[in-house]
Amino acid sequence: MNQIGIHALVWAGGWSEDDARTAISSTKAAGYDFIEVPLLEPSSVDTAMTRALLDEHDLNAGCSLGLSFHTDISSSDPEVVRRGERLLTDAVSVTRDIGATYLGGVIHSAMGKYLEPASERGLRNCVASLRRVSGAARSAGVTLGLEAVNRYESNVVNTAAQALALIDDTGADNIVVHLDTYHMNIEEGDLAGPVLECGERLGYVHVGECNRGYLGSGSIDFSKLFRALIYTGYEGPIAFESFSSAVISEAFCSSLGVWRNLWEDGEHLARHAHAFIEEQLTAAGRSAWARGSPP
């Protein structure tokens, strides 16, 4: 059984105690198994408070973040790389301290638009940093996930194939591929191929619509994704992700290009998404793929 989760930014734009309580209690009430906590500033997260709330509501958690150009481990500037590596190491500690075992996202480069390809030096820096951070993560019992994002949010990992190659370069056994349908819809040929390509190395899945709104309201063929997940025997977490300027901060709206409100009612959106994912899993489980027919 896949655990179904939701990104905390559906509920609240920050992580104060009030924000955390709202996000965690709402996630539990909507029927989810876990919440994805964004570590935009790991040092600002009250780990004891967060863990207490998670325990109170009997809810699991995962963590995610996106590096900035100030903390880009794929930079050719050694000081920028050092800052990024420190940030990732701190995020690993926060992940461990709240009782979570997964830290993913755009942890391989800055989450933003580059104006040129990644340099060879920058790629070497990225590999070396991820290798060291994976060592700290292993000691903390944390798995790292490399999220493949679109060309406007990274120049290092845009596809599943690139994520797999980067993981191979690190030689780390606790780094997995993190796929996201919003980005796959832009960069991949279809939604099934990357899942089949990753196989057992797929460790985390973000489900989001092409416009980041209600699932099923856009052009993404989710049935292909879920049939591929069933066919490969994927048992990992599936997290719903959606952003609206009705909730997230102005700064985050700018970094993600969220220029309009795609929804106002986070609770209705969340309950709809949970039902949608369950329906897709059930339908995929009844398909020919589930019976072993080739895709």
Query: What amino acid occupies position 54?
Result: L
Q: State the pLDDT at residue 266.
A: 78
Which range, of 13-17, 65-69, 275-279, averages the lowest pLDDT? 13-17
Please say if 17 is a catalytic residue: no
Whole-angstrom distance, CA of residue 95 vs CA of residue 106: 16
Please state the pTM of the whole predicted model: 0.93
Please give the pLDDT value at position 60.
Answer: 98
32-to-28, 29, 60, 153, 246 alpha-carbon distances in Å: 6, 8, 9, 28, 22
Contact indicator for 37, 12 with CB cutoff of 8 Å:
no
| Active-site choice (85, 153, 197, 241) | 241
How far is the CA of 25 from the CAs of 90, 102, 197, 290, 295, in angstroms?
A: 26, 21, 37, 34, 39
Q: What percent of the chain has pLDDT over 70?
A: 91
Chain segment 200-226, per-residue pLDDT in tens: 999 999 999 998 889 999 999 999 999
pLDDT above 90 covers a percentage of the chain that reads 84
What CATH code would you report for 4-291?
Answer: 3.20.20.150
Where exactly are the structural domains of the chain?
Answer: 4-291
For residues 85-94, give the mean pLDDT.
Answer: 98
Q: Does residue 147 have an active-site annotation?
A: yes
Tell me if 90 sits within 8 A of 142, measured CB to CB. Answer: no
Q: Please pick, among 36, 85, 147, 209, the residue that the annotation labels catalytic.
A: 147
φ, ψ of residue 213 to 5 degrees: the values are -100, -145
